């Protein structure tokens, strides 16, 4: 299911690489920590957070990193 979701958004080749990386990461953690595999841990990481909130400063920093100029409507100054 995860492969099909990724394939729609990223394409088949990138989806294969993403799934392979996910499997190798799980295998590495299992072998290095001598743990038993738990599918719950890996399914939990697939879900995005329920509520995504940013502070004004975080939002401005994010938009700047994407190349946007932020203007104050009242003063016309670049933030």
pLDDT tens for 37-62 read 777 776 665 666 677 788 888 988 98
49: which DSSP letter?
P
50: which DSSP letter?
S
Q: Which one has a higher pLDDT value, 31 or 51? A: 31
30: which DSSP letter?
H
| Residue 30 predicted with pLDDT over 80 | yes
- pTM of the predicted model, to two decimals? 0.47
User: What does the pLDDT read at residue 73?
Assistant: 83
State the CB neighbour count (10 A cutoff) for residue 13: 9
Per DSSP, the chain holds a count of helices (H) and strands (E) of 4, 0
| 50, two tokens | 């329920």
């Amino acid at each position: 299911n995860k492969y099909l979701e990724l394939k729609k958004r990223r394409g088949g080749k990138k989806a294969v690489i993403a799934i392979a990386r996910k499997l190798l990461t799980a295998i590495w953690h299992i072998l290095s920590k001598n743990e038993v595999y738990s599918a719950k841990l890996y399914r939990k990481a697939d879900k995005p957070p329920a509520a995504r909130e940013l502070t004004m400063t975080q939002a401005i920093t994010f938009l700047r990193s994407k190349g946007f100029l932020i203007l104050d409507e009242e003063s016309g100054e670049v933030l």
